[in-house]
Structure 1
């Protein structure tokens, strides 16, 4: 993973920090309530951990933080909370990294598209309407009924590009 959470991208690519995380948490709470579900203390804390990470975390990274907060150290604690968040559109699983990230837009259903930096492994949830529409058309043309899709694109984030450019200037 990257050097520090501050250097990683996430749902707030402008790195605006605390206020967007609070807004995302409020949207998540509203969504859960509207679906007749509960954001239990362990589920809420798991979502907060993902929001604070500004990137993707493995289940055991989440478990370590949950245990430090007194929620237990058994893997099912983290996996149950993560599965609830994913199943209810509050988090996403990034298969390429075998990790989880908070959903940037938990207030509405949407297809997820992720930009994953191959250098620092930061994750940014990108607008996916156009990609999702194109995928839907392609599936329909093939006679395929699409039920869900997660798009994971790999490249370099702006911070790593800038760092690489700065390093090249230093060498020259």
Structure 2
């Protein structure tokens, strides 16, 4: 995906392969000795099948279509497990979840969030995380979590 400024920012396109993503999470869970229960896997599959961030209550509604008795705590426990293990990301500014493009490695990445269509693009460039870490270190600050969300309008929406 060539774009202006490609020599400055190194991103790579992600192909939306929900099944491949779920298989990668299953493999990572097995390798780490984690228990990916059927419900956790189902929540993961729902998130992976979306083409944009999804909110917890939308997940709950989808689960209730199949399991009429699904309750909010059940969804939140599954989300907590998936977040804690780096399989999904939470976009705090819109209170929604997206699958992680690299479920087998711990990392912090910024997101570009379109305010028109609600799409979110994970920016996979270690320099951004490294720069934030270096700045924090220069101030004697030890970060424990990092979420960088940039809001604007995506290329597709700019064309319309």
Both proteins in one fold, TM over 0.5? yes
Which residue pairs with 1:170 in the alignment? Answer: none
1:144 partnered with 2:159:
no
Normalised by the size of structure 2, how large is the TM-score? Answer: 0.86
Secondary structure of the structure 1 residue equivalent to 2:117 = coil
Aligned counterparts of 1:22 and 1:74: Cα–Cα separation in 2: 25
> Once the 2 structures are TM-superposed, how far is the Cα of residue 73 of structure 1 from its aligned partner?
2.5
Aligned counterparts of 2:83 and 2:127: Cα–Cα separation in 1: 23
> Once the 2 structures are TM-superposed, how far is the Cα of residue 23 of structure 1 from its aligned partner?
2.1
Bigger RCO (CA 8 Å, 6+ sep):
1
The aligned length equals 149
Matches within 5 A, 1:4-15: none
Which residue pairs with 1:100 in the alignment? Answer: 97
Which residue pairs with 2:85 in the alignment? Answer: 88
Secondary structure of the structure 2 residue equivalent to 1:114 = strand
**Unpaired runs of at least 5, structure 2:** 1-11
Contact 1:96-1:152 within 8 A present in 2 as well: yes
Matches within 5 A, 1:1-172: 16-17=15-16, 20-70=17-67, 72-163=69-160
Which residue pairs with 2:7 in the alignment? Answer: none
Aligned counterparts of 2:117 and 2:72: Cα–Cα separation in 1: 26
Aligned counterparts of 1:101 and 1:109: Cα–Cα separation in 2: 15
Aligned counterparts of 2:49 and 2:101: Cα–Cα separation in 1: 12
**Unpaired runs of at least 5, structure 1:** 1-11, 164-172
CA RMSD of aligned residues (A): 1.6
Q: Which moved more, 1:42-51 or 1:143-152?
A: 143-152
> Once the 2 structures are TM-superposed, how far is the Cα of residue 71 of structure 1 from its aligned partner?
6.8
Runs of 4+ in 1 over 4 A off after TM superposition: none
